[in-house]
């Protein structure tokens, strides 16, 4: 007969496994989005927008 503690440990082990899998999928989706952005040559656009925002924040642009 299993105790409540072992059932709880088994439950959390399964839950943590699913959570880890979800985290890995999110990381892979983020990496894929970065690669697609680089492939579409959007790096320059992002940097230009960042420069404009920084210049506006300090009052130059």
CA 22/CA 18 separation, integer angstroms? 6
Domain total of the chain: 1
pLDDT for 61 equals 57
Length of the chain as a residue count: 61
DSSP 41: T
pLDDT of residue 7: 64
Residue 46 CB contacts under 8 Å (≥ 6 apart), including other chains? 37
Q: What is the mean pLDDT of residues 1-23?
A: 77
Instruction: Tell me the whole-structure pTM to 2 decimals.
Output: 0.60
Q: How far is CA 31 from CA 24, 35, 37, 42, 57, in A?
A: 11, 6, 10, 15, 29
Domain that holds residue 34: 4-57
| Per-chain mean pLDDT for the chain | 84
């Amino acid at each position: 007969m299993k105790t409540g503690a072992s059932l709880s440990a088994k439950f959390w082990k399964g839950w943590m496994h699913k959570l880890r899998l979800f985290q890995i999928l999110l990381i892979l989706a983020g990496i894929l989005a970065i690669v697609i952005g680089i492939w579409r040559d959007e790096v320059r656009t992002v940097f230009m927008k960042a420069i404009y925002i920084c210049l506006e924040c300090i009052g130059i642009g």
